[in-house]
Structure 1
Amino acid sequence: MRYNGVTVAVSLFICLVASGDSGLVIPGESSPDRTGFQVLRLETRNDELVDRALQLAEEYEQNEWVELNRARRYVDVMVHPELREKFSSALEDSGIESSIMIRDVEEIIKRHDVSRLKRNSEDGYDYTKFNTFENIEKELHKIVEEYSDIARLDVMGTTHEGRNMYALRVTRDIGPEPTKPIVLIDAGIHAREWVSISTIMYIINQVVRNPDDDSLIKAFVDSYDFVFMPVLNPDGYVYTWTTDRLWRKNRAPNNNSRCIGVDLNRNWDYKWGGKGTSGNPCDIDFRGYSAFSEKETIAVRNWVDKQKSKVVLYINFHAYGQLWMTPYGYSTDTPSNEKEMLAYSRIAVNAIRKVRGTSYEYGPVYTTIYPASSISVDWVRGAEEILIAYTVELPDKGKNGFITPEAEITPIGNETWKGIEQLLVRLGTDKRLLRTQEIIIV
């Protein structure tokens, strides 16, 4: 994958699978063993070194896991043990210094993702741990059974493998359709980003179970229709539990290819197929053969099309990098209300930092992380004209990458909700959306 060289902080985890083909599915395949894979941090002090680092990634066919971050001047590369010596020599020849971030990827997967190894559907949902898709489903149904006066669960559609895609709506005096300003939050569009799902579930738990005990949440439930879409890629998420923890795409087959899956966050019909996408079905950022080719993106599109006039805030959770980003990803073009969105970004990241010092950068996708066309936040803002829209890359900054320790689930959920709380307060005050005036802006 190629990116235009500008002053950029880059987080690039890259893995070479045995076949050299990240989307290849071989009959009878077993879980990939990444024993000995190391994550190296490459110091990229300028545009030239960034370009060279990405070029080396291409030359060595290490393109399974790519995560760039322009705000920090480094590239993280997960290197196959058989290529480590050659790759290190190429770095040295290019004048790129490196250090080890993760000594053994397989070890950190097994150590951190104990849920995957120990938990099953009979354990029930645990908000301090990662949970199976089946347990997430059960918890959503449990919520609407216990809190039927404020919660409603709808099935937006089904996936290629027949799993349901859910939208959980939470508001006071709930009815069959939203009647208040909508706060729309989704997660799990990239299967391996487990912390995005644990974070949205943490927020759901806060909003549903504390509406009367917490004055802010009570005001929000009185004033907003919260709509949570907790897992936008159910098939891919299940696959990360059963087969490959680092899988990113969905699990739909591609015509005329042995490679499985589409990157659902490159499949939206706004500037489709531009920079930061691939037309190769074996690439991790494969955009599909056409916009909205996938059942998952179609389901979300249909829901948003129907309710877009009511949506006042959209947040799309990802991991990792600690970035609070505005549209657009397709180019350096910016929306007409960019300054307004950046002002609300600043409120959110400042509130997050006050919790335990977690620092976020904020700015447009294109210049804050990397070019990425056909993404959901661009479609929401550019096509659906929902004015306040964000893509949020949750912690961390590369120490664990996508393999978030379970000890971080609650702290990340808590600080993220505190940021959203203050954003909603200011937004509600500015737009006269709140039905109570007894709100304190921190």
Structure 2
Amino acid sequence: MKASALLLLFAVANAKHEQYQGWKSYFVKPSNRVQLEVLGSVVQNYGVDFLSNPAVERNGLALVKPELHEEFIKLLEDHGIAYKLHAEDVKAQLDIDDKLFETRRRESSGKKNERIPFDYYPELEEINEYLEYVAEQYPNLVTIVYPGYTFEGRELKYLKISTTNFEDEDKPIILIDGGFFGRDWITSATVLFAIYNLTQTDMLHDYDWILLPVVNPDGYKYSFTNDRFWIKTRSTDQHLFSTLCPGVNANRNFNFFWNTLDTSYTPCADNYAGNKPLSERETFVLRFSLDEFIPRIVLYISMHSYGSLILYPWGNDGSLSNHAFALQSVGVAMADTIYANSLPDFPRYIVGNSVLVTGIKTSGTAVDYAHKLGTPLSFNLELPGIGEGTEGFHLDPKYIEQVAKETWAGIVVGARRAAELFGRT
């Protein structure tokens, strides 16, 4: 009986990540804008998944299906784009990551910053418990908002943090979110760290805050249990084939040039935009927060992973908005502060328009949508990730607190600059 149980356990563990059997991953480094634009096209034309978007003279990390290996390498060589193999076997590397993550969890110091760990990636249930705890511990500062449920029935929730219960209309609002893509675990941990700091510092005196640690709870949960690289929501009501290929890319689902660039009409694609703008309950929640407070929101930061990039609108064509100077200057101020607090393990942040930096045109993104509504400073913050060695696909949990600390330092500077430029006097 014991032998049978052990065999079953081994079989289950061995079957995990099976969908990535035969996949490979490559570092790719464009040396100029022409090469960058070629790489931008492979997402749309070949379905290559970039865990980290490349920039000029900056590596990106591409996941490549078995049937695309030869074609992908030929395209790189035809255009003279530098590349090198990262992982010969994606599944095997994910198995190594799993062991590392489990080791870090077991070895967790047990230290809790107000009951939340920052030395391993918390599961969804732990995050929800922490949000409830903070609301209970700081009832005069923190309000937990329950705007509805996900497609799979999980409770959506976010925090409003204020010394004046959002009633002082002269106070600017800072909006921060994470967890748009299920697999971006570090983004949620970073927002949780911001929540912890807001209960311990004086950053509430002059600002009100809205924080959504997990925009996409269903996707976050699924990335822990079924598919480590899962991006989308888990809805099955968007297309005739959605029951076979669930979900919508939440960051292509907003009403800004919706479904025109870097999207797909097939629900099986990671960049499927849904059957209409704001079709997903998760994106509707963010839209509700923006609509309710748009006259006062001066800074919106959407956390993503990874790449060490601070990107701003417009993402559909690379043109610059009327607030381009402020976006660049505040972005640089945040990047400089992060760099001053960073480890040498991470590259310095690149700041700029999203198309000009990455070579990829996008539509339906939250950052562009918020900027269109009137948020003057709207940023996509791509957190740091792995280097150029043989590390796994995801940041070693030992770096979580460091990334969260340096990011928080950048957020503080961004909030202060935003209030100086756009807060009411």
TM range (shorter): 0.7 to 0.9
| Correspondence for 1:246 | 229
Correspondent of 1:76 among 49, 61, 66: 61
Offset of 1:53 from its aligned partner? 5.4
The alpha-carbon deviation at position 164 of structure 1 amounts to: 1.6
Partner of 1:166: 157
Structure-to-structure mapping, 1:273-312, within 5 angstroms: 273-312=259-298
Cα deviations by residue, 1:356-386 (Å, 9 ceiling, x for unpaired): 254100111121222111100111011x111
Structure 1 Cα separation of the partners of residues 42 and 140 of structure 2: 56
Q: Aligned partners of 1:47, 1:377: CA distance in 2, in Å?
A: 23
Name the amino acid aligned to 1:152. T
Residue aligning to 1:315: 301
Instruction: State the match for 1:410 in structure 2.
Output: 401
Structure 1 counterpart of 2:385, from 381, 396, 400: 396
Provide the C-alpha distance between the structure 2 equivalents of 1:55 and 1:152, rounded to a whole number of angstroms.
Answer: 44
Give the CA deviation at 1:407: 0.8
Query: CA shift at 1:72, angstroms?
Result: 3.3
> Cα 1:67–1:112, aligned 2, differ >3 Å: closer, same or farther?
same
Higher mean C-alpha displacement, 151-160 vs 397-406: 397-406
The answer to whether structure 1 residue 368 and structure 2 residue 368 are counterparts is: no
Aligned partner of 1:109 among 88, 97, 111: 97
In structure 2, the partner of 1:227 is 210
| Equivalent pairs, count | 393
Contact conserved, 2:33 with 2:56, CA < 8 A, in 1?
A: no
Residue aligning to 2:121: 130
**Paired residues for 1:82-93 under 5 Å:** 88=73, 92=77
Q: Secondary structure at the match of 2:97?
A: helix
Partner residue of 1:13?
A: none
Partner of 1:255 in structure 2?
A: 239
Partner SS for 2:190: helix
Tell me how far 1:79 sits from its aligned partner: 3.8
Per-residue deviation, 1:110: 1.7
| 1:408 to partner: Cα distance | 1.1
RMSD: 3.0
1:272 aligns with 2:258: yes
TM-score, length of structure 2 as denominator length: 0.83
* Greater Cα offset, 272-281 or 135-144: 272-281
2:56 and 2:392 map into 1 onto residues whose CA distance is: 16
Please give the alpha-carbon distance, in whole angstroms, between the structure 2 residues aligned to 1:373 and 1:50: 19
- Is the partner of 1:373 in helix, strand or coil? coil
Relative distance call for 1:172 and 1:361 in structure 2 (3 A) is same
Structure 1 residue 337 corresponds to structure 2 residue 323: yes
Residue 286 of structure 1 deviates from its aligned partner by 0.7
Matched position secondary structure for 1:313: strand
Deviation of 1:69 (Å)? 2.8
Supply the distance in 1 between the matched residues of 2:79 and 2:312 (Cα, whole angstroms): 34
- Report whether the alignment pairs 1:346 with 2:335: no
Worse-matched range after superposition: 173-182 or 345-354: 173-182
- Are 1:101 and 1:398, in contact at CA under 8 Å, matched by a contact in 2? no
Partner of 2:258: helix, strand, or coil? coil
Please give the alpha-carbon distance, in whole angstroms, between the structure 2 residues aligned to 1:178 and 1:35. 55
- Contact in 2 for aligned 1:185/1:227 (Cα 8 Å): yes
Does residue 385 (structure 1) correspond to residue 374 (structure 2)? The answer is yes
Structure 1 Cα separation of the partners of residues 26 and 216 of structure 2: 29
Summarize the Cα distance change of 1:255–1:374 in structure 2 as closer, same or farther, 3 Å threshold: same
Q: Judge conservation of contact 2:252–2:272 (CA < 8 Å) in 1.
A: yes
